[in-house]
Amino acid sequence: MSDSPREQDTTHFGFREVPTAQKQKLVGEVFSSVAGKYDLMNDLMSLGIHRVWKRFFVATAQVGKGDRVLDLAGGTGDIAALLRDRVGETGEIVLGDINGDMLRVGRDRMVDRGNVRGFEYVQCNAEALPFPDRSFDLVTIAFGLRNVTDKDAALREMHRVLKIGGQARVLEFSQVQADWFKPIYDFHSFQVLPRLGRLFAHDAGSYQYLAESIRKHPPQGELKSMMETAGFERVSFRNLNGGIVAIHTGYKV
């Protein structure tokens, strides 16, 4: 019997072409390797700016008291912690992540900080979410979509689990806009990041992959079109720091 199409197809893992069925495992190995040093490395790689991006991402989200939020690729809980005050005591935040090691780090961090009530942790694949239709007022994914094998499926699932009138937000590395800055950004990505990874996380290869994965992620206009194809309305994006990252927003109507 022949292999299924998914087993025969290939996709990118960084700059490498790999069988589609293997990408999820390879990405999982990357994040299991870096989970313990994830926040430290984010600070080092971005000079702490990632915290500003995340605060702005949450501060400008459509969310209020009592809302139910799904934070995909919730990782170490940065977005969920910022959302806590926005949803209040009556709200609920579900942290979803496909990687158990990342999810455990996030859960432990949240508990250590006293963030217990109103949080739920679910190990799940963004391509096939284990939630009913129209379950959430807001769905977020920060620095996670580029690691999903089938991004179109993940966007469709985000749309499916949103309530009517709900908002989806994607915070992700994107395409730098200024030509003069691109060589500087490339040097930082491909020369500095792997060295930081080797020095502080004892893993240069994972950070080489992360730099490559940014270059393979759809640029701003393409991701906007993908969200529209997935069913979102009023899709827009906002570049931060010249397009190093972008926030994409869409609504279910």
* pLDDT above 60 (res 22): yes
Residue 91, judged by CB atoms within 10 A of its CB (0-12, 13-18, 19+), counts as: buried
Q: Which amino acid is at 231?
A: G
- Measured between alpha carbons, how far is 133 from 70 in angstroms, rounded to an integer? 13
pTM greater than the 0.85 cutoff: yes
Contacts of 168 (CB under 8 A, 6+ apart): 138, 139, 140, 155, 158, 159, 162, 227, 232, 249, 250, 251, 252
pLDDT of residue 75: 81
Structure tokens that stand for 158 in this block: 């985000």
Inter-CA distances, 144 with 1, 9, 74, Å: 35, 22, 8
pLDDT of residue 198: 84
pLDDT of residue 135: 98
pLDDT of residue 136: 98
Please say whether the dihedral angle defined by the alpha carbons of residues 173, 174, 178 and 179, taken in this order, is positive or negative: positive
Averaged pLDDT score across all residues of the chain: 89
Domain extent listing, the chain: 23-177+208-251
Residue with tokens 């949240």: 110
Share of the chain above pLDDT 90, in %: 60
**Four-way CATH pick for 23-177+208-251: 3.60.150.10, 3.40.50.150, 2.60.40.1180, 2.60.120.10:** 3.40.50.150
* pLDDT above 50 (res 131): yes
Choose between 38 and 82: higher pLDDT. Answer: 82
* pLDDT above 50 (res 87): yes
* pLDDT above 90 (res 39): no
Residue 100, judged by CB atoms within 10 A of its CB (0-12, 13-18, 19+), counts as: middle
Average pLDDT over residues 160-186: 95
